[in-house]
Structure 1
Amino acid sequence: MRRKQHRFKHNQDAHNVIERGKEWYTKIKGNWAEYFGNDKPLVLELACGKGEYTVGLAENIPDMNFIGIDIKGDRIARGSKRAMDKGLDNAAFLRTGIQFLDEFFNADEIEEIWLIHPDPQPRDKEEKRRLTNPHFLGIYKKYLRKGGLFKLKTDSRFLYDYSLEILQKDNEFELLDHTDDLYNSPLLDEHFGIRTHYEQIWTERGSSVHYIKCRLK
Structure 2
Amino acid sequence: MGSKNKLKRFRENETFSNVIQPTREELINGSPLKGNWHSHFNNTNPIVLELGCGKGEYTIALARKNPNINYIGIDLKGARFWRGAKTALEENLNNVTFIRTQIELIDLLFDKNEVTEIWITFPDPQIKYTRTKHRLTNAEFLKKYHHVLISDGIVNLKTDSEFMHGYTLGLLHGAGHEVLYAHHNIYKNPETPIEVTSTQTFYESQYLEKGKPITYIKFRIRY
Task: State the TM-score, normalizing by the size of structure 2.
Answer: 0.90
Partner of 1:124: 129
Q: How does 1:18-97 map to 2 (within 5 A)?
A: 18-20=20-22, 26-97=31-102
Q: 1:158 aligns with which of 163, 186, 198?
A: 163
| Alpha carbons 2:113, 2:148 under 8 Å: kept | yes
Partner of 1:179: 183
Partner of 1:112: 117
Alpha-carbon shift at residue 182 of structure 1 (Å)? 1.1
Q: Secondary structure at the match of 2:107?
A: helix
| Alpha carbons 1:149, 1:213 under 8 Å: kept | yes
Provide the rounded CA distance (Å) in 2 between the counterparts of 1:168 and 1:62.
Answer: 34
Q: Cα RMSD (Å) of the superposition?
A: 1.7
Provide the rounded CA distance (Å) in 2 between the counterparts of 1:30 and 1:161.
Answer: 34
Provide the rounded CA distance (Å) in 1 between the counterparts of 2:106 and 2:181.
Answer: 27
Q: Secondary structure at the match of 2:192?
A: helix
Provide the rounded CA distance (Å) in 2 between the counterparts of 1:188 and 1:114.
Answer: 14
Provide the rounded CA distance (Å) in 1 between the counterparts of 2:74 and 2:106.
Answer: 9
Partner of 1:6: 8
Q: Does 1:198 align with 2:182?
A: no
Q: Does 1:137 align with 2:142?
A: yes
| Alpha carbons 2:186, 2:213 under 8 Å: kept | yes
| Structure 2 stretches lacking a partner, 5+ long | none
Provide the rounded CA distance (Å) in 1 between the counterparts of 2:209 and 2:193.
Answer: 16
Number of residue pairs matched? Answer: 214
Cα deviations by residue, 1:71-104 (Å, 9 ceiling, x for unpaired): 1110121110121222211111011111212332
Look up the equivalent residue of 1:31 and give its one-letter code.
N
| Structure 1 stretches lacking a partner, 5+ long | none
Cα deviations by residue, 1:54-76 (Å, 9 ceiling, x for unpaired): 11111111121000001111012
Q: Secondary structure at the match of 1:195?
A: coil
Moved more, 181-190 or 109-118: 181-190
% of aligned pairs identical? 41
| Alpha carbons 1:58, 1:91 under 8 Å: kept | yes
Cα deviations by residue, 1:4-38 (Å, 9 ceiling, x for unpaired): 122112211111101138xx984211221111110
